[in-house]
Structure 1
């Protein structure tokens, strides 16, 4: 997707009518690949505000609807992360993971399934998605390990991570290490003797393991994309920050839950939740940091992590 920087200025965006342009209206709806009206309205409002404040000059902005299903079955992933470039009249919807949550066995289970998220929150150590306003920030790139590719050749996983900065309930995004990255990692790591390898340590060993792609799975609370989508999204914000609005916020969750528990259906306007996921989860739940962090801290104190072990040497 090209970016028409030459024809865009902050003044154009800041003074643009808040009415959704006709070309974008065609992408508004609740079908897969469409963006729900409330999600678009809030994402545009956040973007326009940051442009007026002078903190954003990027011609594109992002949104995500975490109430939608991640997995549609039969190998199809739900498209619920949106890149919107109004100057180019460009709209793109791609899959994205949601926070896995955790099961603190015997204490509290706030884990999420692969298809729909029922639990949301902003507590450190919770692995939950927190909805609200974010800005993209610096991009950090790091080496994750060597693996064998489809041709049985050595390949290095170099993964980029876009740090998010939030406000309000998402203000702790940096301390939570919340951001966006490709849904890939190297697992089952051992140390392979590879003298001369650019990624080897001082003793000549390099991290070696198996590449795992979890684009169809869950994340630790970050926004995860397929490797191919990440290669398109991350360059858009490198040294050029923009906004990301993630739905739902805690107030949305509370409103939907109250309506469901009262036995009423969600109105056509107002409280919104994806119908497929609402049917599956029953009612969503927001667990605020003020309540959840002490529980997590006590659980970790009662269940200390084992001492870290040295990585094994790879078998020949």
Structure 2
């Protein structure tokens, strides 16, 4: 069949969400997803508020964290409202063009996230392995340039996927077995051989995922090697503590994805429900828990929150004493 945009045949797509979910659980699932979305928005918006309200946080590392928070907010906003409306209002359809717009942002923001984690690892690598170079290289202006570069470069692979997938003929099923539109879910519905389109998309995804991951692995091997050279045990622990938040965030992002890819390569088969649950946990859980990691594992933010809590408690005690 000749290629072309057959949107006159398929004018909208239907997102199955969790295929085996019974109707009586729709309300519970929509509430849980709404709670995850709310926590993601509140937690990451709080990161912005803390940064803007305290100049002591205006450091390169926190500029990187703000990029990650912005990415988490945008990704959750791109994906969660639609699937929440499916279970809350029984509305699982999405327009033809809207599906491709969502697909673009899903892959775009995933790429941005990967690049930002690369910057996070670069910051710790320079701070620990090359401490004299770190203040000169990792200035706020440098972080701004690197951040803009990450957000710009990420458009290339996502735009390539959309440009190559949009003109395909879609003339059969319009059911996407997922909670949101992604490249695999859409192109599986094309009435043509998807191999010429799937292979370049897979290669681009691997470059975006494994390129930063390769440097992250190298940087933390170098960091561990440098830490082991510190004679004082207390010094080792203190140095490693500066990496703990970043390492947890990076692990939450990469380990589940590597598990999914390795499972696919090794031929491990998941049920449709389990596969969709894993994909949602991989993409949505880190966005909700990252702000908690910033607060409890980042020393500057922890100290600032303790100062604010102490001041508010003192203010309450003074008011009660006055009355």
Category of TM-score, reference length = shorter chain: under 0.3
Task: Report 1 or 2 for greater relative contact order, CA contacts < 8 Å, sequence distance ≥ 6.
Answer: 2
**Larger helix proportion of the pair:** 2
**Larger strand proportion of the pair:** 1
TM-score normalised according to structure 1 size: 0.22
> Over alpha carbons, which structure has the higher Rg?
2
